[in-house]
């Protein structure tokens, strides 16, 4: 079974965000970069499937030079090989452009059985790549999976929606995106980290993917990035618990007018 996993390198959630001079991006200095946490669920699922059924796990990531360390992290967890999509032409891609590059890279890996992704990349939080990829590759999709059971040419997938848990069935190959709850991602072992250094890692640019830069022109773009307005100072409510409770309800009703 050949499993392709798309991962994204993102700023650690704890990282303090500083705005760039262009007013549209963040400064990258002092940012700690990690593999997007949802992608770790995808990696873990791919590794578990490989351990149960044999096969190979290939990691694909698009990003600048630094993204190579995210791919190495996945290789250290146990993935077999990596593909790094790297080109100056990829610097200003939107989600659609990113999906086009990933789709082109995935097509070059045919035949494959499964494409796994995180359900969203933290930071951007667009949650678009799984659906865009599935349409571009003409594959079925099941998003936000919390349980995956594989047959030979089909998969049973569970996903949480508002108020219910759904059971889905899909033919393979398919795109499945991972939600928290799917599994508990492993840590890379020291031995894994050593082995990762020797695992194959291909680097591909737009030409290698056969992509005309014109199809990568962004359809959406950020024109301004700003810090959120500061929230008003907190009003502390004094008194004993009974008084505090009565005062809180009064304030919510009379001052905030929300109840």
Partner 1 sequence: MKPAVVIFAETYETRLKRPVLEVVSEARRIADALGGTVHAVLVGVRDEALASQLAQQGADYVHVFGQPALAAYATEPYARAVAKVATDTDATAVLFSMTALGKDLAPRVAAKLDAGLVSDCISLSVSEGRLTARRAMYSGKALATCEWTGGVHVASLRPSVFRLGATDPNRGAETLTEGIDDTSARAKVVGREARDASTVELTEAQIVVSGGRGLKGPEHFHLIDELAAAMGAAVGASRAVVDSGWKEHPFQVGQTGKTVSPAVYVACAISGAIQHLAGMSSSKVIVAINKDPEAPIFKVANYGIVGDVFEVLPQLTKAAEAYFSGKD
Residues 205-224 that bind partner 1 (CB under 8 A): 217-224
- In angstroms, give the least distance from the CB of 234 to partner 1: 5
Q: Which of 43, 47, 93, 95 binds partner 1 (CB under 8 A)?
A: 95
Cα–Cα distances in Å, from 104 out to 43, 84, 128? 20, 12, 17
Residue ranges of alpha helices (H) inside 32-173 are 37-53, 67-77, 95-107, 129-136
Binding mask 38-77 toward partner 1 (x if CB under 8 A, else -) reads x---------------------------------------
Alpha carbon distance 86, 204 (integer Å): 6
Give residue for tokens 């894994």: 192
Q: Which of 46, 63, 82, 130 binds partner 1 (CB under 8 A)?
A: 130
**What residues between 222 and 251 interact with partner 1 by CB under 8 A?**
222-228, 231-232, 234-237, 241-242, 244-246, 248-249, 251
Give residue for tokens 């810090």: 227
Nearer to partner 1, 16 or 108 (CB): 16
When asked if residue 153 is in the footprint of partner 1 (CB under 8 A), the reply is no
Q: Across the strands, what pairs with 3?
A: 57, 114
- In angstroms, give the least distance from the CB of 81 to partner 1: 27
Cβ atoms of 81 and 201 within 8 Å: the answer is yes
What is the DSSP secondary structure assignment for residue 138, as one 8-state letter? T
Q: Which of 170, 196, 204, 209 binds partner 1 (CB under 8 A)?
A: 170
């Amino acid at each position: 079974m050949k499993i392709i996993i798309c991962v994204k390198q993102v700023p650690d959630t704890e990282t303090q965000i500083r705005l760039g001079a262009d007013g549209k991006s963040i400064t990258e200095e002092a940012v700690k970069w990690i593999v997007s946490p949802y992608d770790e669920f995808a990696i873990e699922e791919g590794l578990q499937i490989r351990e149960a059924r044999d096969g190979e796990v290939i990691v694909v990531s698009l990003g600048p030079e630094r993204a190579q360390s995210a791919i190495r992290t996945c290789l250290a967890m146990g993935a077999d090989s990596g593909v790094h999509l790297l080109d100056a032409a990829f610097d200003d891609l939107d989600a659609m452009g990113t999906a086009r590059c990933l789709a082109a890279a995935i097509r070059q890996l045919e035949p494959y059985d499964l494409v796994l992704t995180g359900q969203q990349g933290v930071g951007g939080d667009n949650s678009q790549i799984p659906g865009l990829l599935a349409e571009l590759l003409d594959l079925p999709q099941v998003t936000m999976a919390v349980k995956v059971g594989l047959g030979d040419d089909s998969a049973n997938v569970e996903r949480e929606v508002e108020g219910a848990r759904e059971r889905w069935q899909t033919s393979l190959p398919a795109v499945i995106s991972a939600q928290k709850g799917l599994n508990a991602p492993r840590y890379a072992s020291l031995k894994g980290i050593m082995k990762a250094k020797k695992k194959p890692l291909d680097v591909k640019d737009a030409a290698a993917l056969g992509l005309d830069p014109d199809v990568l022109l962004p359809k959406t773009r950020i024109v301004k990035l700003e810090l959120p307005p500061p929230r008003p100072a907190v009003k502390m409510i004094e008194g004993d618990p009974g008084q505090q409770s009565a005062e809180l309800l009064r304030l919510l009703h009379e001052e905030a007018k929300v109840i």
